[in-house]
Amino acid sequence: MTVKLFDLNIEEVLENWDIEHGLREIISNALDEQQTTDSQEIEIKKGLDGKWHIRDFGRGIRIEHFTLNENPEKLNSKLNLIGKFGVGLKDALATFNRRGILVIIKSKFGTFQIKKSQKSGFTDIFTLHVEYNDNPIDIEGTDFIFEGISNEKMDLTKSFFLKFNDESLLDSTMYGEIYSRKSDGAKVYINGVFAADEPNFMFTYNISNITQSIKKKLNRERLNVGRATYSSRVKDILLSTENNKVQSELTEQARNRYSGNLYDEFSWIEISQKAFNLLHNSQRVVFLTEEEIIHRPEIIDWAKRDRYEVITISGKEKDKLNSQMNLGGPEIRTSDVFIGEINDSFEYKFINHHELNKNEMVIYNSYQRIVNLVDLPKWQIPKLLISETMRLTNDDTCGVWDSSLNAIIIKRTLLVNEVLFAGTILHELAHKVSGAPDCSRIFESELTQFLGKVSASTI
Coil, strand or helix: which one is 222?
coil
Q: What is the DSSP letter of 406?
A: T
Q: Please answer whether residues 253 and 263 qualify as being in contact, where contact means their C-beta atoms are separated by less than 8 angstroms.
A: yes
Give yes or no for a contact between 189 and 234, defined as CB atoms under 8 angstroms apart: no
Which DSSP helix (H) or strand (E) runs through 367? Answer: helix 367-373
Tens-digit pLDDT profile for the chain (459 aa)? Answer: 676 665 555 555 556 789 999 999 999 999 999 999 999 999 999 999 999 999 999 999 998 888 765 555 555 555 555 554 344 788 888 889 889 999 999 999 999 998 876 666 566 666 778 888 889 899 999 999 999 999 999 999 999 999 999 999 999 999 999 999 999 999 999 999 999 999 999 999 999 998 887 877 765 445 568 898 899 999 999 999 999 999 999 999 998 877 778 899 999 999 999 999 999 999 999 999 999 988 888 788 888 888 899 999 999 999 999 999 999 999 999 999 998 888 888 888 999 988 999 999 999 999 999 988 888 888 888 999 999 988 766 567 788 888 888 899 999 999 999 999 999 999 989 888 888 777 678 888 888 888 888 888 877
Domain ranges of the chain: 3-158, 165-240, 244-345, 350-458
Best CA proximity match to 189, nearest among 161, 211, 209:
161
- What is the predicted pLDDT for the residue at 84? 46
Task: Yes or no: say if 395 and 405 are a contact pair by the CB < 8 Å rule.
Answer: no
Q: Tell me what pLDDT residue 343 has.
A: 80
Where helices occur in 164-261 by DSSP H, the ranges are 212-217, 227-240, 244-255
Q: At what angle do helices 269-282 and 244-255 cross, to 10 degrees?
A: 100
CATH number for the domain running over 350-458: 3.30.2010.10
Other C-beta atoms lying within 10 Å of the C-beta of residue 211:
15
Closest CA to 210 of 182, 232, 243, 185: 232
pLDDT of the residue at 242:
95
Instruction: Give me the count of residues in the chain.
Output: 459
The CATH classification number of 244-345 equals 3.40.50
Integer Cα distance of 148 and 102 in angstroms: 7
pLDDT value of position 124: 62
Residue 350 β-bridge partners: 387
pLDDT of residue 8: 55
Residue 3 pLDDT: 66
